[in-house]
C-alpha cells in the first residue's frame, strides 16, 4: 500500500509540474477534467451522477470554464443564476422524482469542486502566477505532510476527536509553521534560480501560513462528508490515494484563498 501510494504521489507531482508549468489552455483543460471527475464523485454520493441535476451541474461547470477562457459573460453570476433556475425547474416539474437535498447538492457541487478548483488556474494566470501558484501545494500537501510528522512525534491534544482522532493540535501548529518554512525556502530558491529580485518573501510566507491553516478545514470538511455517508474514499482513480476529492480536498479550499490573498496583498 505504501509503495503504491508513493508511486502515485510521484506521478501526481510529475503531472502537476508539467501542467502548471505549461499553464494557459493546457492547465485550464486539465482543471476542467479534474472538476468534472470531482463533481461526479460528489454527485455519486447523492445518487445524481447520471441524472438531470448532475448532468446540469456538469454543463454549468463546462460553461463556467469556457467563460473563464473566452469571457462570454461580463459576470459569472449569469451562469450561476441560470443553473439555479434550471435546477429549480427540474425539482418542480419533476417532483417528487428528486429530493431537495439532491438539488442543493448539485448546486453545492458546482461551487465546491468546479469553481474552487478553477482558482488554481486563475492563480497561475496572475502576473507572478508561475511562482505564486506553487503556494497552493505548499499550503495543502506540504502542510499536511508537516502536520503528520509533527503530530506523530509530539501530538497529544486531539484537534477533532470524533471526526479525525489522529489529528492533533500540535500537528496543526506544525503544519502551519511547516507551510511557512517551506514557502520561505521555496522563495529563496526561486529568487536565486530565476534571479527574481521582487519576491516579497515575508508576504508570501504569511499568505502560506493562512493558507495552511485553512487547508485543514478543507481536509476535515471532505472527511466529514465521507463520515456522513459512511464511505472510505470518494473514488479509486488514484491508486493509494482514492479519488480526485480525496487527493485535492485541501487544494480545493486553499486555491481560492491563495488567489485572493496574493491578488490583494502581493
H-run or E-run covering 168? strand 164-168
H-run or E-run covering 65? helix 52-70
Query: What pLDDT band is residue 181 in, cutting at 50, 70 and 90?
Result: very high
Backbone angles phi, psi at 144, to 5 degrees: -60, -45
204 neighbors 266 (Cβ within 8 angstroms): yes
* Cα-Cα-Cα-Cα dihedral sign, residues 245, 251, 257, 260: negative
pTM of the prediction?
0.91
Mean pLDDT of 83-106: 96
pLDDT tens-digit series, residues 125-143? 998 888 899 999 988 888 8
CA–CA distance from 237 to each of 4, 6, 102, 125, 150 (Å)? 13, 15, 24, 28, 29
Backbone angles phi, psi at 159, to 5 degrees: -85, -40
d(CA 235, CA 245): 8
| Grid cell at residue 183 | 514557502
- The candidate with the shortest Cα–Cα distance to 87, out of 105, 114, 69, 68, is 105
pLDDT on residue 265: 78
| The residue count for the chain | 266
Mean pLDDT of 73-84: 88
| Grid cell at residue 238 | 488514484
Any idea which of 24-28, 76-80, 190-194, 244-248 has the lowest mean pLDDT?
A: 190-194
H-run or E-run covering 167? strand 164-168
d(CA 17, CA 23): 10
What is the b/e burial string over 211-242, where b = at least 16 CB atoms within 10 angstroms of the residue's CB? bbbbbbebbbebbebbeeeeeeebbebbeebb
179 neighbors 212 (Cβ within 8 angstroms): yes
Amino acid at each position: 500500500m505504501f509503495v503504491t501510494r508513493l508511486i502515485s504521489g510521484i506521478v501526481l507531482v510529475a503531472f502537476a509540474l508539467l501542467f502548471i508549468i505549461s499553464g494557459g489552455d493546457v492547465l485550464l483543460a486539465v482543471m476542467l477534467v479534474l472538476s468534472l471527475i470531482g463533481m461526479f464523485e460528489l454527485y455519486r454520493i447523492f445518487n445524481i451522477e447520471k441524472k438531470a441535476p448532475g448532468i446540469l451541474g456538469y454543463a454549468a461547470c463546462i460553461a463556467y470554464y469556457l467563460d473563464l477562457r473566452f469571457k462570454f459573460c461580463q459576470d459569472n453570476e449569469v451562469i450561476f443564476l441560470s443553473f439555479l433556475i434550471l435546477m429549480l425547474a427540474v425539482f418542480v416539474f419533476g417532483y417528487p422524482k428528486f429530493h431537495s437535498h439532491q438539488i442543493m447538492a448539485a448546486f453545492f457541487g458546482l461551487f465546491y469542486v468546479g469553481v474552487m478548483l478553477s482558482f488554481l488556474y486563475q492563480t497561475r494566470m496572475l502576473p507572478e502566477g508561475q511562482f505564486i501558484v506553487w503556494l497552493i501545494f505548499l499550503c495543502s500537501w506540504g502542510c499536511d505532510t508537516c502536520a503528520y510528522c509533527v503530530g506523530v512525534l509530539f501530538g497529544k491534544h486531539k484537534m477533532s476527536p470524533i471526526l479525525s482522532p489522529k489529528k492533533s493540535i500540535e500537528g496543526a501548529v506544525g503544519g502551519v509553521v511547516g507551510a511557512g518554512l517551506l514557502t520561505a525556502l521555496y522563495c529563496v530558491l526561486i529568487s536565486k534560480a530565476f534571479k527574481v529580485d521582487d519576491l516579497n518573501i515575508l508576504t508570501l510566507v504569511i499568505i502560506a501560513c493562512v493558507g495552511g491553516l485553512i487547508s485543514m478545514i478543507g481536509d476535515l470538511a471532505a472527511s466529514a462528508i465521507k463520515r456522513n455517508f459512511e464511505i472510505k474514499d470518494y473514488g479509486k482513480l488514484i491508486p493509494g490515494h482514492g479519488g480526485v476529492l480525496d487527493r485535492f480536498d485541501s487544494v480545493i479550499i486553499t486555491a481560492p484563498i491563495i488567489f485572493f490573498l496574493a491578488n490583494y496583498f502581493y
